[in-house]
Chains A and B, each alone.
Chain A
Amino acid sequence: MSGGQHIVRIVAQRGIGFSIDRVVCRSPIITINFVDDAFVVAPKGNYRNIALETGVAPLANGSARISIGGGPHGIGGGIPGTEVVAAVKLEVEDVQTEEGVDGGRIVCAVSCSPSAYPNLTNNALDDLQSDLSSVLHQTLSHSSLHPPNLTILAGRKSWLLHLDVVVLTDSGSIYDALFLASAAALRDTRVPRTRGIEYKAQSRRATEEDIPMGDAGRSGFDTRALKKSTDFELTDYWDEGEPLGKSESWPVCITLSLLPPIHYLDATPLEESATMSRLLLFFAFPNSASGNSVLQGMRLLGPGETDLQIMKTLIPLGEKYARDLKRGLDAKLHSEALRRNPATRNKMAR
């Protein structure tokens, strides 16, 4: 395959000391494997194994931890892969007096642990954090992905969703890991159920009276003026809440490292430094039944030269890879949900 030989020559000239086999043997067909957190299967296909665990931060409304290519004994031990933890915290925000938006808003932030990038100065680390945050925020906080159930009291109070991602180690494919962890944490998020209440003065004492938000049971001929709820309460303190809306449509990221005329996935740090440009593609699959995809974002990084014709062929290929990744993510999240739900766990134990 002449394309493959071309790559071997370039790498040999630059004298890069990693196994050339890894780059040459890449075939265009992708298999991505999600594994249980305890064992590592020998890497097959084009992507390192990905370990995923949800519910890692009990104080957060939703959380997930991703490890791409982590060594034996999975997350936290052995050979470091790319490890990323994402957590969602919901805060109440006032629409009128603070910066709140009617309908809620999402803010994403990435922070890089200095141990993940021991060679960077503090300023460079800040810049990297800012860059990763802006890519994450621009893609995930777009109005097309906005979940519908972030309102508490229309026009008054809404939920501010903070998505915070921490990079623990970076061994390549950082954008893929960030978006996978974010998607998993957002799908794990539960929004507390609230109910609007209104304070009504009764004779000389002010007492509290519940007026539920939904007007079920009220007669259509009710001529009283509609009272606006001014405050809210949690309906059930122990209930974790309802799942965040539109959970199927959070995008996944695929990083294509470009060495024209070929491309490859999942670059390790050595491969990244040898590759002049990479294309980040963010795909969302909003309707799992029809399976159609939308391009939720695209970014070209690096000083290399890219041809428009090549880009036109890369985007549909990236969509195929993203579809595989999403399928794996869906399956793994489903098994995580079964594992964490005690009702089904008892059923499975029998």
Chain B
Amino acid sequence: MAQALFDRRRVNGPEESFPPVYDSDEEDELSGSNLNTRQGRSSADIRPIYLKPGLINQANGSAYIETEKTKIACAVYGPRQSRSTTYNEKGKLNVEVKFAPFSCTRRRAPMRDAEDRSIAVLIQQALIPSLRLELLPKSTIDVFIVIIENDGIEGCVASGSIAASTALANAGIEMLGLVTSCAASVVNEEIWLDPTVNEARLTRGTLLLGFMPALGIVTNVWQTGQLTIEEAIKSMELCKERCLDIHSVVAQALLDSAKEQ
């Protein structure tokens, strides 16, 4: 079977090609593998967030989020008329996620694959309880998320949810509250919040929580790996507290952007 799919819209390179492996990459991987304490920040710290709404003028609403090595741009188009002819009493939320080919260590093919869709489903789950879709019959809200640099799937989903919620607020769509999201991973006996991709390799279980601080409700829970029940509940508590902090960051960014206009 040919490894490289023939993409007729692009100039295809040679059939077999491998990315170069640099010595420094290998050193990074080794140094991260035997750590008991976290490097660079404490276990309850998340990476600093840079969030800017209103970056894409063409869209109804947009946001760009950057946390160290995760960079995501989000654009919201809508509410606009549904393409389908069947009558829908409630509006539809359509989330599409795309990885830029240069976003990961190894080049990703521009084709949509299963991983794109699984991240889109998670972000959609986080956003749906916060939107007043019953006010938008026959309409669709399109959320397009482009991942420019990727530092772990949990980071992508968490940052993507925050960016999408900010973009929806920037677009003026009626919401019950802002959704913020945080991931936790259990390494040995400690719970580390907001794991990078190297830290995620050490963990035996991760949990991601999407939370709406305005109403105090959980919108999304995603857990993989092995955790005891107590660890899972403790992680959810820690994530929830961190989500409250992120909420103030998002609210401040939206206020600043509204003042500028």
Which residues of A are interface residues toward B (Cβ below 8 A)?
A: 127, 130-131, 133-134, 138-139, 142, 144, 279, 284, 293-301, 303-308, 311-312, 315-316, 319
User: B215–A298 contact, CB under 8 A?
Assistant: no
Known: A134-B118, A303-B129. A298 touches B226 (CB 8 A): no
Q: A144-B205, A308-B217 are in contact. List 7 more A-B contacts (CB 8 A).
A: A142-B225, A284-B226, A295-B226, A297-B223, A301-B125, A308-B236, A308-B240
Known: A139-B224, A306-B218. A130 touches B114 (CB 8 A): yes
User: B240–A294 contact, CB under 8 A?
Assistant: no
The binding surface of chain A is classed by DSSP as mixed
User: B224–A138 contact, CB under 8 A?
Assistant: yes
Closest-CB distance, B37 to chain A (whole angstroms):
22
Please list 23 pairs of residues, one from A and one from B, whose beta carbons are closer than 8 Å in the complex, sorted by A's number.
A130-B118, A131-B118, A142-B226, A144-B205, A144-B225, A144-B226, A294-B226, A295-B205, A295-B227, A295-B229, A295-B232, A296-B225, A298-B221, A298-B223, A299-B223, A300-B220, A300-B222, A301-B125, A303-B133, A306-B129, A306-B217, A311-B218, A319-B229
| A297–B221 alpha-carbon span in the complex (Å) | 10
User: B232–A298 contact, CB under 8 A?
Assistant: yes
User: B236–A311 contact, CB under 8 A?
Assistant: yes
Query: Which residues from chain B contact A295 at a C-beta distance below 8 Å?
Result: 205, 223, 226-229, 232
| A116–B233 alpha-carbon span in the complex (Å) | 37
| A144–B232 alpha-carbon span in the complex (Å) | 16
**Interface size of B by Cβ–Cβ distance < 8 Å?**
32
Known: A130-B117, A305-B215. A311 touches B221 (CB 8 A): yes
The residue in chain A whose Cβ has the minimal distance to the Cβ of B90 is: A303
Query: Which residues from chain A contact B207 at a C-beta distance below 8 Å?
Result: 298
User: B117–A131 contact, CB under 8 A?
Assistant: yes
User: A294–B228 contact, CB under 8 A?
Assistant: yes
| A279–B125 alpha-carbon span in the complex (Å) | 12
Known: A130-B114, A311-B236, A315-B232. A298 touches B222 (CB 8 A): yes
Query: Which residues from chain A contact B220 at a C-beta distance below 8 Å?
Result: 300
User: B218–A300 contact, CB under 8 A?
Assistant: yes
Residue B204, interface by CB 8 Å? yes
Query: Which residues from chain A contact B118 at a C-beta distance below 8 Å?
Result: 130-131, 134, 138
User: B117–A127 contact, CB under 8 A?
Assistant: yes
